[in-house]
Amino acid sequence: MHKYLLLLTISFFSVAFIGCDSSQSALNKPIRKTKTLTPDASLLAKLGEPQDLGFASIRVPTDFTLSTKQTQGKSTIYPFIGPRRDDGTRPLIQITTLQLGKSDQARTLGVTHDKFLAAVKRRRGQWSQSPMSRGMISDLEFAYSSWEGTENSRGTPLKGIMYVTYINEKLMVSISSQDAQPMAEETIPLTEAAIRTFKVQ
């Protein structure tokens, strides 16, 4: 597996340094009315049965498999990897969770999203990203955006998406996907449909 297709920036050391912008808990604020995000109905047949994560479930593409789950401290990473191509590239959906303590309560959803996206940007060249949007999946408010860039060491063009949410006041969840171009033009809509099947148990 080419490691440039793993979201190494969404790792144990990066989630520990997500900053905050307010002394008031953002997690207790009423959720604003935002649009409901649903998967593209035409792509649902390409998604498998719900994968049980313990705290939630998600339907990933039928040819994706869960690689080794990684846990360290309060953080856990669930990498779902697509099939390896002849050029060595593989698409990825990665779910990262972080258990929240009292000191984490001041983090806002928008700032957390920006911190995660900035971690990806630091390892990419020719970077561009969409404005952050907000939407509801499984009664949770997500902040999300898409991005494009190149892998620094190889110059491989990449495309990805980033979704971030909080579950109650206990867990931060980031769901990310990326793939190499031009295959990403087909795979990213599919992985985004998968992300939008996320459901808390």
Q: Hey, where are the domains in the chain? A: 3-19+61-188
118 CB neighbour count, 10 Å cutoff: 13
On the question of pLDDT at 30 being above 80, the answer is: no
Decide the pairing of beta strands 157-167 and 51-52.
unpaired
Contact 28, 110 (CB under 8 A): no
Q: Which pair of structure tokens corresponds to residue 199? A: 């459901």
Q: Which pair of structure tokens corresponds to residue 121? A: 């940007």
pLDDT digits (tens, 9 = 90+) for 39-82: 999 999 999 999 999 999 999 999 999 999 999 899 999 999 99
SS3 132: coil
On the question of pLDDT at 28 being above 50, the answer is: no
Question: CATH for 3-19+61-188?
Answer: 3.40.1000.10
Model's pTM, two decimal places?
Answer: 0.86
Question: Considering the chain, what is the average pLDDT of its residues?
Answer: 85
What span, in angstroms and rounded, lies between the C-alpha atoms of 114 and 35? 20
On the question of pLDDT at 198 being above 60, the answer is: yes
pLDDT digits (tens, 9 = 90+) for 177-187: 999 999 999 99
Question: Would you state the pLDDT for residue 108?
Answer: 85
